[in-house]
Amino acid sequence: MKPSSIIPPAAVGNNPMVSEMYGLKLTAPVQLAVMELLCFFKRQSVDQGGLGRFGHLKNFVSIMWPKYKWNPWSEWMLEEACENDYLGLAGCAASGKTYGITLYAMVWWACAPASSSVVLTSTTSKMIRKRQWSALQELRMQSAGFPGNMVDSKTTLQASKGDDKHGIFAQAVAEGPVEQAVANIQGIHAPRMLVIVDEATDTPEAIFNATENLKKGTTEFQLIVIGNPNSYFDPHGRFCEPVNGWKSISVENESWKTKNGICLHFDGNKTPNFKSVGGKVPYPYLIAPDQVYESRKTMGEDTVEYWKFTRGFWAPEGALSTTVLNEPLCVKFHTMDGATFSNQPIKLAGLDPAFGGDRCILRIAELGKSPEGITTLKFGKVYQLKIAAQSTDPATYQIAKQTIDICNNEDVPPEHLGVDSTGNGVGVCDVLAATWSHKIKRVCFGGAASQTPASGLDNRPSNDVYKNKVTELWFSFREWVMADQIRGLDPDTIKEFCSRHFTDVGRKKEVESKRDMKDRIRSSPDLADAASIVVDVARQLGSSGILKGAGTGEWNTFVERANKIYDNGIEEVETV
């Protein structure tokens, strides 16, 4: 890169003209600010006579923003940004993550604006203007002449007027069609690309896929992901996952290696403001000790909100949770791990029919015995069935045909298939019974809970424990998880189980309605519903999820009895 390709800032104090410095000798003098940017671009190391990338960034900031006040967190954050192409930031509220990284983005872009693009994303246009765009505007106004053409209506800072290819672009990604947001991001491409995903916990997964595609054909690419930790399995959690797994770190870790880079953890309990001077906090814009104390008092240290916004870390298993599952439980009980069987497993399937926009999900699983003698359910393929609008066959027949074909290919007999018979699912069940077999298992999500024992350790009838059938189905899945008997579960399904709230009503548990859940999370829990159906099929086959220590003969007896029962057309068996 030639120094002339850098857009020089306005002449300011402490910005003399130089031609030889930091191990570089230029043919013509340039402003000191331009020299600092050139060294930042070239990553001029100490061995080469420079200060390292972060050293030159700090010098440029001192020239462009002479009143900028550093703090230990901002220095740490920007130094790591200078060294890592993939950087995750997980932290409490008021830790300066968004502001600090916006400053970094401006310096990163300014060193080669005519060949660089920065994409700043947040969930909505309102949040874009409240967060990154507001920070960028403030920093530009406080600068000593930061370059670029500001187009506020487009939330864009162009390299030059009319240039929509090179600049800093702020994009909302979680309002309106996701496809449009993806197209907007993919339309921005330059030799140098920096993507910063703010509010990553609520950012659609498709956006992450789109940003990775931007890497193709670039000479420099960097991805920075920011969020207040919420879930191991949302996009932010997946990006920040330790290379050695979640069990390898705790809230006391300040940083850790990830699959592609590093994650920094900003803990409110370790705020730099604890080092007050004369009773005054040194950094008013960072979380203060009195705010930490107040959050402990009002939220409580055993709440998810306290861990998310004060500790800046993923809530532990012991934190109060009002969802059917939580991520620490899923990690603790190995739900995503694979499974091996000491016997020949049997195939099961669960179908959640859908009409009117929800996904129609058919999922396959294997039920067998682990080497330790534990009945284990290993989830496998997930099929999303499609309804062809142009077909002359009714939707119920289309779903039934696809289900039969897949089950036959997967070696799932009809008596091992469970189908949601609620609402329009009744029609699908009727077609399957008429065209395939009456032995399919009808699983009704509506109505009262059953008389089946609540779990392998709780012999009370389910209707004494659960308010209704859907709660029984979802909590039965939870019981299998806590018995360490679920394997092969995918992150999206786990996220659905970890998103459904429940309450205790008259000493009975009751999950929130599907309508309320859909309104809250903007999607239907079809994957989790289908998984719950599979567990219910296993229960109806006679497995309560507690076949621990059973020998091969006992397992074979279980399978033989199940087959005989279906041969006689009987649908329920007593618990083995």
Residue-level pLDDT at 548: 39
pTM score, two decimals?
A: 0.74
Residue that has been written with the tokens 């016997």 in this structure: 343
Residue that has been written with the tokens 């700043």 in this structure: 120
For 35, the token pair is 């020299």
Residue-level pLDDT at 192: 97
H or E segment at 42? helix 32-42
The band of 545, judged by pLDDT with boundaries at 50, 70 and 90, is very low
pLDDT (mean) for 134-145: 96
Other beta carbons within 10 Å of 492: 13
Q: Are 552 and 342 in contact (CB under 8 A)?
A: yes
* More confident: 54 or 329: 54
* Residue-wise DSSP of 207-271: HHHHHHHTTTT-SEEEEEEEE----TTSHHHHHH-BTT-GGG--TT-SEEEBSSSEEEEE-GGG-
H or E segment at 117? strand 116-122
Q: How many helices (H) and strands (E) would you count in the chain?
A: 20, 19
Residue 455 has pLDDT above 60, yes or no: yes
- Each residue of 225-284: pLDDT tens digit? 999 998 898 899 999 999 999 999 999 999 999 999 999 999 999 999 998 777 799 999
Q: Are 85 and 221 in contact (CB under 8 A)?
A: yes
φ, ψ of residue 447 in degrees (nearest 5): 85, -165
pLDDT (mean) for 448-463: 84
Residue-level pLDDT at 12: 46
* More confident: 522 or 30: 30
H or E segment at 487? strand 486-487
Residue 167 has pLDDT above 50, yes or no: yes
- Each residue of 117-137: pLDDT tens digit? 999 999 999 999 999 999 999
Average pLDDT, the chain: 89
The alpha-helical segments, DSSP class H, found in 383-468 are: 395-409, 425-435, 462-465
